[in-house]
Structure 1
């Protein structure tokens, strides 16, 4: 092999190794602790800080969680994580996939799971009961994609809305592993857009909203829980619009999914 080809070959090997290490780094587990809501029902809470209401209690089969640092002032709402406990005699290898729906902390834990999700980390139903008896466990976790088969993103008009003076809505069934960092509300006819405020959690709101049929534009970013600027931003524009005569409690099927 000529010196030039050998140099190119070594360069390619080095590049492939770097790419492999980068890919592996994105899948690394982070060590922490997890507890559970001691006074909750088996599923999640209907009054979580993300503002999902009853949707948050039953989302993902009730496998939901509160978090403190991962909540990120509401940006973390809707993010999914694989959480698995580390006791080999009780814990399964896969653990449980949870959706973040609330903010909360308990004695240095990163997650406060629903009782259902906490027990799901066990190898068996009996192991799950033993985990619940412990109250908290050492865990490891990583960010994963959210998946809701046969579901498009839903725009749910919040009950606090007051037509036509105040409009607030929640974005439900947020797929993929990217964060929604900004939302614009646009007049369909004129394409004039207004940047919305994050009222709290996953609730986006505007006083004196535009009139007529309205479209929503969502800015997607990264997916890395530790770095909001880790990837290039992109806008996602639903296919369906909020009707001109919107009303509190209504749900609009966006007609699209997040990748």
Structure 2
């Protein structure tokens, strides 16, 4: 009897908190978006706009604690559900583009990502569960393009400058963005108002020289990355600029 009570207790603990499994997977729960398009909101908490609905062929997710105050935006995960009769072995590979809370879930998936959890012709049965047990692990993001910095739509030339990183590769969180102030000969940190957005009032006049502080979520390593290209002096809101590098 005592051993049975212990097993039940451990199962309940793993159901309420993340427990580590094999190959670095962590146990949790997931559900899916209930919006009409099932893609999440273009006004998501990461500040990605339409990119947050369509990147990675729409296989995206909102997350709760993995949001990490916005630094978790852009992270990639392999997620697979744990119902043997319904769930595929590989699951889905998704990109975090929003904050989302379900019924004790870590992930709120787009419909496309959720359907990819299922075995062939089993997606409808999986939808009926609403919430499923999963296991997940962070994986490197891989894109054909370089890291891009999009000047946020709320920017107002030349008095207010805000950027959001897109196509962020590797397993690094962008934890800070700094601007070089030539007059002061120093790097000045930008503010993170929300999500993946970094901003600055009264930015320097002329082309903007930026560098990133990045942190590996898996190892905790921190490094500074100097961008080899500059944001042009006549930058415009809504325009995306290629950084000529990737965070692999």
1:211 matched to 2:196? The reply is no
Matches within 5 A, 1:82-161: 82-124=78-120, 126-149=121-144, 151-161=145-155
Q: CA deviation at 1:211?
A: 1.1
Query: In 2, distance between residues paired with 1:26 and 1:254?
Result: 37
Aligned to 2:226: 237
Question: In structure 2, which of residues 139, 152, 175 is the aligned counterpart of residue 181 of structure 1?
Answer: 175
Report the number of matched residues.
Answer: 229
1:171 and 2:165 equivalent?
yes
Is 1:248 matched up with 2:237?
A: yes
- The whole-number CA distance in structure 2 between the counterparts of 1:246 and 1:191 is 22
Structure 2: runs of 5+ lacking an equivalent:
1-19
Alpha-carbon RMSD across the aligned residues, in angstroms, is 1.9
Match of 1:201 in 2: 195
Once residues 187 and 239 of structure 1 are traced to their aligned partners in structure 2, the CA distance between those partners, rounded to angstroms, is: 16
2:6 equivalent in structure 1: none
Over 3 Å counting, the alpha-carbon distance change for 1:140 and 1:36 in structure 2 is same
Give distance in 2, aligned partners of 1:127 and 1:241.
Answer: 49
TM-score by structure 2 length? 0.87
Question: Which structure has the greater CA radius of gyration?
Answer: 1
Runs of 4+ with deviation above 3 angstroms: 24-27, 187-192
**C-alpha contact (below 8 Å) 2:21/2:27 kept by paired residues:** no
CA distance in 2 between counterparts of 1:202 and 1:91 reads 32
TM-score normalised per structure 1:
0.84
- Does residue 45 (structure 1) correspond to residue 80 (structure 2)? The answer is no
Residue among 23, 30, 42 paired with 2:26: 30
Maintained 8 Å contact 1:65/1:98 = yes
- Per-residue Cα deviation, 1:65-95 (whole angstroms, up to 9, x for no partner): 1111000110100011110001111111110
Structure 1, unmatched stretches of 5+, are: 1-23, 225-229
Aligned to 1:5: none
